[in-house]
Structure formats: structure tokens, C-alpha cells
Amino acid sequence: MSQAPAAGRLAHRRSRHIRERIIELVLLSSALVAVATTIGIVFILVKESISFFSQVSIVDFLTDRQWTPLFSDPHFGIWVLLSGTLTSSAIALSVAIPVGTILAIYLSEFASARMRETAKPILELLAGIPTIVFGYFALFFVTPLLKKIYPELPGFNLLSAGLVMGVMIVPYISSIAEDAMRAVPMSLREGAFAMGATRLQVALNVVVPAAFSGLAAAYILGISRAVGETMIVAVAAGMQPNFTFNPTEQAATITAYIVQVAKGDLPHGSVGYQTIFAAGLTLFLLTLVFNLLGYYLRKRFREEY
Amino acid sequence: MAVSDSLRATISRAKRNDLIFVALGIAALLFAASTFVALFLDMVGDGLSRLNPSFFTEFASRRAERAGILAAWVGTFAVMLVTALVAVPIGVASGIYLEEYAPKNKLTALIEININNLAGVPSIVYGLLALGLFVHTFGLGASVQTAGLTLALLILPVVIVATREAIRAVPGSIREAAYALGATRWQMVSDHVLPYSMPGILTGVIIGLSRAIGETAPIVTIGAVTFIAFLPPSPVTSSPPFLSFDWLASPFTAMPIQIFNWTSRPEEAFQANASAAALVLVVMTLLMNAIAIWLRYRLRRNLNW
């Protein structure tokens, strides 16, 4: 063999190697976009919140019972907005958790394969409906319906927003919960059936306890969803800050407040502009805790069996 | 005999409980399905009369009966184009990196935790990120490009997770065969793994885009204008170089914003417009979801490694 082709092959291999390294670096930098996004979110929220808290004390922020940032006598009590968020979320979860759990148990333990094949796409379609449309539905369909039962209900109220939000979260909870229950090994069920247990007994006494961390993850991620939901409450619950836990009143949630302020034209750098970042930081921290907890629980049920 | 009687009673009670639970499960399913039907019928009832060709070719107007969604659907289309062009390459590249390249180390773990957390961050927080970073730091304005980038970051986790699942489903033997023939890692990925996982990735991309198309909160937050009576400049021009990217920096409105705007009006005539626009938006998202579900169904049937 002559030397030239060998050297050529060597050069070819080297260029191939360099090309491979470049591709790997490009792929890695794409993956780092996710990290950069988180850093960007934290940076922006913290930066604007720092200038906000240099003018408003944290103690006032956490204890004041009024939220009137745009008045001449401004008050910044985040609990006013939190009360709306917590009330609407509680209503939503009181619908979504029972319905979602029953649905998940039914689909995982009782339904025939054909039933499941029909039901799951329906649930997915329900999950795919834009939240602004749900908001429209809450304001113009559910509220008038509720008014027939309870005539004093105001046009904007936390109740109808919460109920519709609950329906929106049902598919989300049921799909995670069903995943968790299907991950329970068949042998556990077979053991229980062999002891003479009925389907319901197997479902409630064997499958549900075994899938418990997955169910907990589903609920926690559902809570995080409800707390962060924006358009339904912005459209149907009104945008007036109101310190209340009464579902028949109107109130602004954290998210609705952000929408309301962002829709107007607040000058960049004003305290009013900074409030939405302080509110956003509160929201982000709240959902972060739920998300990390949910992530940890979900990982656990995946590893259990 | 007494024993067999009590046994029989126990069995019949257990059977009855099973039946009751099945009824509950079906009721939960019907509840979800009937909400879906009610929502759809409500929109059709209120909005169908507004759905004539001029509704699609007219700009928004102060007179409800003359208002249309031209600027909104063109804006949505332009924003979706930017979103797809940004989210698909970055998302697919991240997915490839995490499945085929990533070593098991701290950096990989960090990326994974970030993606998981980002999937749970409320969409309005992305709006705050965009407002602080894209609008005020980078000076991109409340434009098509800002909205497109924001929604791209929002759906990135969906695209990444779908890509990873699709790649994971490709059996290792395919990779080994490619390596055995002397392929480099990238040749193996681009010539074998990617083509096989393409339908799965496509499903994820469509689901991600169908989520982005209905997102309202982030684009309201960046300050998208609600009343727009012009279209972004055309991407094709009559003079060389015949291509213009001015549309990227153009102000815009989008379908969900238009719906939100009309929902906030007190006049009933605008409510009909809102429901007609909502109907159009829901049909768009349902179509996208249906395509994704169908793709996945076909995919599952045709796969037998």
C-alpha cells in the first residue's frame, strides 16, 4: 500500500471526528436552552421584585389586608390576591380530585379496552381546549346556569370560574393517576383476586395504596395547574382585588391581576409595573414547590416496581 | 344454612358495590363528555350566525356586526410560524442530546429537572419573562417575534418530552446495526433513529402547537394590542430581494386575544362575535389534536419491531 491513501483516510477520520464533536456541542447547547429559560425567569422575576421590595417592605407585602397598588394611597397586601387564588383553586380541586380519581380507577381497573380507547381521546380533546374558551364558557354558560339556582350570584364570581377550572383539570389528574395505577404490577391484583376479592376491593385496597405516590403527584400537579390558571379566572371571576374566601363573590387572583395590569399601559419601571413581577414571583415560588414535590413523587412511583 | 346465607349476602353486596362503582365511573366520564358537548353547543348556538365569509375577511370594528377576525387569524398564523421554527429544532435537538448523547452526570440531571419544572410553570410567568427580557431588555417590542419566541419557550418541554419518548421506542438493535457498519453516532441518529421516531416527534409537535395556539395569558402580558386594523407586512415583496422579514417586528393581535377582548365587552352583540371566534379557535385546536391522536394511533398499529 502507498502512503498517500492512508494519510487521506486519516485526515478524513479526523474531519469526521471534528464534525461529530461540533454536532454534539450544537445538541448540548439546544438542551441548555431549558436551563437558560429557568435562569431567565428567575433573573427577571427577582430583579424586578428587588426594586419593588426596596420601596415596599416585605412585612407589609405579607400582612397588609388591602391591595390597591394604583391608588394614591397604595397598599400591597398579597393575601388579597392569594385569597382569590386559593378559593378558586379549592373549588376547582373539589371537583377535579374526586372526578379525576374515580375516572382513573374506572379506566384503569374496570373499563374494557374498547371503552378506554374511546374515553381517552375524549379526555385528551377536553384537555386541549384553550383556557380562554373555558373562561368564555364559565362567564356565559355556567354563571347564568348557577344564577337560576342562586339568583343573588353576581355576574363575576369565583364559584363558576372554579367549577369550570375543575373540569379543565380533570383530564390532567386522571391521566397521571391512571398511569400510576397501570404501573402497579398485575401480580398484586392476581394475588388479591385469588383471595376472593372483588374488583372494587382490589382497586381500593390494593391498587390505590400501591399507586399512592403517583396519585399524590397527580393531585399536587393539579393544584399547581389550578394556582397558575389565568384566563378562566380573568374572564369569569372579575378582576377586582377582594379579600375574601367566599366563592359567591368576585375577586382577582394573582394571575388575573397580572393580566389586568399588563393590559393597561403602565410605564416601565414604575411601582405598578413592578407589582406584577412581585406577584409573579409569589406565583412562581408557589408552583415551584408543588412541581418539585410532584416530580419527586412521580419519580418514586416509577421506580417502585 | 346460615353460613352460606351470610356468605351469599356478602357476595351479592360486593357485586352490588362493584356495579355502583362502575355507574360512578361512567357518570364521571359522562360528566366530562357532557361539559365538552355543552361548551360546543353553547358556542354554536351563540356564534354560528356570525360565521359568514366576511367574518374571516374583516378587521375588528367598533360595530359588532361588521367586526371580523382577519387580523387575529393572520396574526395567529404568523406567531405559530415563528413558534414552530424556533421550538421544533431546539426541542428535537434537546431530545436527541438527552437520549443519545448525554452522559449520566450532574449537568444532565440539571437539564432534566429544568425541563420537568418548566413544564409546570404557569404560562403567565412566561409572559412576565418575555415582558422583562424580550420586550424591555432586548427591545423586541410587543411584536410577532416576541410572541413567537415566548410561545416557543412555553411548548419546548412538550416537544422535548415527545421527542425523547419517540427516540426511546426505537430498539437498540437498530443502533447496533448502524454502528456495526461503521456509522458515526450522528450518522446513526440522523439516518436511522430520527426517521423511525419522526411520527412520534410530529405528534408531539402538533400537540405543542395546539397548546400554543390557544395560549392567551403570555401574549396578553407582553402587551399585544387588542385593536389592530392592519396586517403585518407581507413576507414577499415585489422588489429584490423579494423577501422581507418586517412582519417579524410588526405589532399583531391573535385569536385568543380577540376573543378575550370581545368577552370583556358588555354589549351582547360582541358576545356573539366572541363565541364565533371561540368556535373557530376550538375547531382549529380540535383538528390539530385529532390529527395528533390519529397519528399516534396509526403509529401504534404499524409498529412491530
The complex's ipTM works out to: 0.88
Asked if A198 lies within 8 A of B17 by C-beta distance, the reply is yes
Statement to judge: residues B7 and B95 lie in one domain: no
d(CA A161, CA A93): 12
Statement to judge: residues B111 and B223 lie in one domain: yes
**Final residue of a structural domain among B49, B64, B83:** B49
With CA atoms as reference, the chain A residue closest to B120 would be A291
List, for residues B14-24, the tens digit of each pLDDT value. Answer: 889 899 999 99
Asked if B26 lies within 8 A of A230 by C-beta distance, the reply is no
Statement to judge: residues B6 and B126 lie in one domain: no
Statement to judge: residues B125 and B12 lie in one domain: no
List, for residues B154-207, the tens digit of each pLDDT value. Answer: 999 999 999 999 999 899 999 999 999 989 999 999 999 998 898 889 989 998
In this structure, what C-alpha cell is assigned to residue B11?
A: 357476595
Statement to judge: residues B166 and B261 lie in one domain: yes
Statement to judge: residues B130 and B95 lie in one domain: yes
User: What residues of chain B lie within 8 A of the CB of A41, using their CB?
Assistant: 121, 125-126, 128-129
Asked if A31 lies within 8 A of B25 by C-beta distance, the reply is no
Q: Could you say which of B32, B264, B274 has the minimum Cβ distance to residue A170? A: B32
Q: Of A253, A68, A97, which Cα lies nearest the Cα of A176?
A: A97
Asked if B110 lies within 8 A of A35 by C-beta distance, the reply is yes
List, for residues A127-154, the tens digit of each pLDDT value. Answer: 889 999 999 999 989 999 998 988 888 8
Per the prediction, chain A carries an average pLDDT of: 87
| Best residue in B46, B111, B125, B154 for a mutation probing chain A (most A CBs within 10 Å) | B125
Statement to judge: residues B35 and B125 lie in one domain: no
Summarize the confidence of residues B216-221 as an average pLDDT: 89
pLDDT of residue A154: 86
With CA atoms as reference, the chain B residue closest to A32 would be B111
Confidence of residue A100 (pLDDT cuts 50, 70, 90): very high
DSSP for A192-238 reads: HHHTT--HHHHIIIIIHHHTHHHHHHHHHHHHHHHHH--HHHHHHS-
Helix (H) and strand (E) counts in chain B: 12, 0
Question: pLDDT exceeding 90 applies to what percent of chain B?
Answer: 36
* Exposure on the CB side of residue B123, measured as CA atoms within 13 A: 28
Statement to judge: residues B246 and B264 lie in one domain: yes
Residue B84 domain boundaries:
51-302
User: What residues of chain B lie within 8 A of the CB of A169, using their CB?
Assistant: none
pLDDT at A71 over 80: no
With CA atoms as reference, the chain A residue closest to B225 would be A263
Statement to judge: residues B39 and B73 lie in one domain: no
**Final residue of a structural domain among B27, B49, B71:** B49
User: What residues of chain B lie within 8 A of the CB of A119, using their CB?
Assistant: 29
Q: Report the domain count for chain B.
A: 2
Asked if A268 lies within 8 A of B136 by C-beta distance, the reply is yes
Give how far A63 is from chain B: nearest CA, Å: 24
Statement to judge: residues B172 and B70 lie in one domain: yes
B234: CATH: 1.10.3720.10
Statement to judge: residues B59 and B142 lie in one domain: yes
Statement to judge: residues B66 and B38 lie in one domain: no
